[in-house]
């Protein structure tokens, strides 16, 4: 088992990737990203994770609890006291757990769409620039087993530090890809036999009454302006029934409600098909 490497000097060049974390959040990291905290580190190193780990930086007291995860042929582990960690990162590090991940080549969206006629559930995010909302939507996508998240060019980076944290690490496991625009997402839906569902307070049908399509692309826009009309014209427009006078839900919350409906109905249909004695795999 490789041993952790003690670091005493905040200027040590081996920790260059951890320097000035917040400033680099803004300018980017040349193909790398930062993970904070034990929960997300465990996700980063889990069998389902998609990213290589360049290194891990721990406060020495965190090593015993994490050595099971980090021993063997894993990435180098640096140990530095919290004052040194904080001096490097440029802000107080309370939890004593940081890591640098490597983005690697990003897949194209086509690669993430299960081929027809298999069931498919994809989430399409249009213009969502808020890290909390994008992080929350990854968490919800993971909870309900969405196949992937597709983002337009404006949507923020799911590997931004705060988005990873809010996602409870799901940004590290749920596959995602960029399309050039919302229109490009609709084009993908057409080419891959996905029913585009636009979630909007002005929808023509309620979510509760919607029989979920076997292959769906659920489209979400920003809380204020919502999805562009040109996109909604090419989709089934679905609304969440709400109390009169207060049609306001957080976009990540609205997405969770819709994903739950689409995923739960999918399981229910599988169970029903099973009862009707369809041979495996021919139930759809």
Smallest separation, CB 175 to its own copies (Å): 14
Sign (positive or negative) of CA dihedral 111, 236, 146, 98 = positive
Q: Which is nearer to its own copies, 233 or 241 (CB)?
A: 241
Q: Which stretch binds its own copies (CB under 8 A): 25-33, 181-189, 225-233, 247-255?
A: 247-255
Candidates 253, 269, 270, 283: give the one binding its own copies (CB under 8 A): 253
Asked if 248 is part of the footprint of its own copies (rule: CB under 8 A), the reply reads yes
Asked if 241 is part of the footprint of its own copies (rule: CB under 8 A), the reply reads yes
> Is residue 138 a contact partner of residue 149, using CB atoms and an 8 Å limit?
yes
Asked if 89 is part of the footprint of its own copies (rule: CB under 8 A), the reply reads no
Candidates 49, 87, 143, 183: give the one binding its own copies (CB under 8 A): 143
Q: Which is nearer to its own copies, 46 or 129 (CB)?
A: 46
Smallest separation, CB 200 to its own copies (Å): 15
**Binding-residue total with its own copies (CB under 8 A):** 35
Helix 251-275 crosses helix 131-143 at what angle (to 10 degrees)? 10
Instruction: For the segment 177-206, give every residue that binds its own copies (CB under 8 A).
Output: 206
Q: Which is nearer to its own copies, 32 or 260 (CB)?
A: 260
Asked if 145 is part of the footprint of its own copies (rule: CB under 8 A), the reply reads yes
Asked if 256 is part of the footprint of its own copies (rule: CB under 8 A), the reply reads yes
Give CA–CA dist 222/236, Å, rounded. 18
Candidates 64, 225, 245, 279: give the one binding its own copies (CB under 8 A): 245
Give the 3-state secondary structure of the chain: CCCCEECCCCCCHHHHHHCCHHHHHHHCCCCEEEEECHHHHHHHCCCCCCCEEEEEEECHHHHHHHHHHHCCCCCCEEECCHHHHHHHHCCCCCCCEEEEEECCCCCCHHHHCCCCCCCEEEEEECCCCCHHHHHHHHHHHHHCCCCEEEECCCCCCCCCHHHHHHCCCHHHCCCEEECCCHHHHHHHHHHCCCEEEEECCCCCEEHHHCCCCCEEEEEECECCCECCHHHHCCCEEEECCCCCCCCCCCHHHHHHHHHHHHHHHHHHHHHHHHHCCCCCCCCC
Smallest separation, CB 160 to its own copies (Å): 18
Q: Which stretch binds its own copies (CB under 8 A): 60-68, 101-109, 112-120, 165-173?
A: 165-173
Candidates 33, 144, 160, 176: give the one binding its own copies (CB under 8 A): 144
Q: Which is nearer to its own copies, 115 or 224 (CB)?
A: 224
Asked if 246 is part of the footprint of its own copies (rule: CB under 8 A), the reply reads yes
Interface residues with its own copies (CB under 8 A)? 48, 136, 139-140, 142-145, 168, 170, 173, 206-208, 240-250, 252-253, 256-257, 260, 263-265, 267-268
């Amino acid at each position: 088992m490789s041993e952790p490497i003690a670091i005493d000097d905040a200027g040590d060049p081996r920790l260059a990737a951890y320097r000035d974390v917040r400033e680099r959040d803004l300018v980017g990291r040349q193909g790398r990203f930062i993970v904070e905290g034990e929960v997300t580190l465990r996700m980063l190193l889990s069998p389902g994770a998609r990213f290589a780990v360049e290194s891990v930086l721990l406060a020495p007291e965190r090593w015993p609890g994490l050595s099971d995860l980090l021993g063997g042929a894993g990435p180098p582990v640096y140990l530095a006291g919290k004052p040194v960690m904080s001096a490097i990162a440029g802000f107080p590090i309370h939890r004593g757990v940081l890591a640098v991940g490597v983005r690697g080549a990003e897949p194209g969206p086509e690669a993430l769409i299960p081929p027809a006629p298999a069931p498919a559930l994809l989430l399409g995010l249009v213009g969502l620039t808020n890290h909390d909302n994008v992080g929350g939507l990854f968490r919800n996508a993971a909870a309900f087993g969405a196949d992937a998240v597709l983002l337009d060019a404006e949507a923020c980076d799911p590997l931004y530090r705060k988005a990873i944290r809010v996602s409870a690490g799901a940004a590290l496991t749920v596959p995602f890809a960029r399309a050039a625009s919302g229109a490009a997402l609709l084009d993908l839906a057409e080419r891959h036999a996905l029913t585009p569902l636009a979630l909007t307070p002005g929808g023509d049908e309620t979510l509760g009454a919607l029989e979920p399509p076997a292959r769906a692309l659920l489209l979400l826009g920003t809380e204020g302006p919502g999805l562009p009309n040109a996109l909604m014209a090419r989709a089934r427009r679905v609304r969440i029934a709400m109390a009169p006078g207060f049609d306001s839900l957080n976009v990540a919350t609205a997405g969770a409600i819709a994903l739950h409906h689409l995923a739960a109905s999918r399981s229910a249909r599988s169970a029903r098909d099973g009862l009707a004695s369809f041979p495996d795999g021919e139930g759809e």
